[in-house]
A and B are shown apart, each in its own frame.
Chain A
Amino acid sequence: GNSVTQMEGPVTLSEEAFLTINCTYTATGYPSLFWYVQYPGEGLQLLLKATKADDKGSNKGFEATYRKETTSFHLEKGSVQVSDSAVYFCALSDRGFNKFYFGSGTKLNVKP
């Protein structure tokens, strides 16, 4: 079946530190992969996506590369800001069925 596993949080970093949030997946076909971000009290917003192996998604300084050989889609940012504090969700969509599978979310706290 399909599933997504994320590293547990919370992750606490100082401003300008390097961020990695690990995400691995299990899928029966060739999924598309996504990172969503949820700010306090709000819905989920798409942060970045990748639709095939070796694609790199990027947005607002965040990056993630679709690694088929390691079934991973780790989120990285070189220098985090306080405004990046949020919950981050890794997700995959199963082509042909259009179902989304979400990880449990990783809360990021960035301190000044």
Chain B
Amino acid sequence: NAGVTQTPKFQVLKTGQSMTLQCAQDMNHEYMSWYRQDPGMGLRLIHYSVGAGITDQGEVPNGYNVSRSTTEDFPLRLLSAAPSQTSVYFCASSTLAGYNYEQYFGPGTRLTVT
């Protein structure tokens, strides 16, 4: 049982480049989400999904795109990288059953945009 996995662990991009951060979970969770973590700002929600084919915006969605074609995978796409997107990105998942809503986090992707 791998839980939530993220790839890559580290990435350096040049301004204007695009890339996809991968996230997968093997717990059959309905809910998946992407956060960015910046110093002194905690975690901010970028996008989330409550099931395959359903996505919605979080607090800071601009410059990012997501899709959810399967229950397991929830990739995050940076359309045209900017230095302001330098951050640590975390993917998380949880079940929607009951009121538990405990989120399980991946190990993170540290992204630097130059």
Tell whether A51 pairs with B100 under 8 Å between CB atoms, given A89-B42, A104-B40: yes
Q: How far is the CA of A36 from the CA of B41 in the complex (A)?
A: 15
B43 touches A102 (CB 8 A): yes
A98 touches B100 (CB 8 A): no
A61 contacts the other chain (Cβ, under 8 Å)?
no
Q: How far is the CA of A98 from the CA of B107 in the complex (A)?
A: 21
Tell whether A43 pairs with B94 under 8 Å between CB atoms, given A102-B43, A103-B42: no
B96 contacts the other chain (Cβ, under 8 Å)?
yes
A window 84-106: CB within 8 A of B:
89, 93, 95, 98-100, 102-105
Q: How many A residues have CB within 8 A of the partner chain?
A: 20
* A contact face: mostly helix, strand, loop, or mixed: strand
Q: How far is the CA of A34 from the CA of B33 in the complex (A)?
A: 17
Q: Give 19 CB contacts A-B under 8 Å.
A: A32-B99, A32-B100, A32-B101, A43-B90, A43-B105, A44-B90, A51-B99, A89-B43, A93-B101, A95-B99, A98-B48, A98-B50, A99-B45, A100-B45, A100-B92, A100-B103, A102-B35, A102-B42, A104-B41
Q: A43-B4, A102-B35 are in contact. List 11 more A-B contacts (CB 8 A).
A: A32-B99, A32-B100, A43-B106, A43-B107, A46-B103, A51-B100, A98-B31, A98-B101, A99-B58, A100-B43, A104-B40
Which residues in A have some Cβ–Cβ distance to B below 8 Å?
A: 32, 34, 36, 42-46, 49, 51, 89, 93, 95, 98-100, 102-105
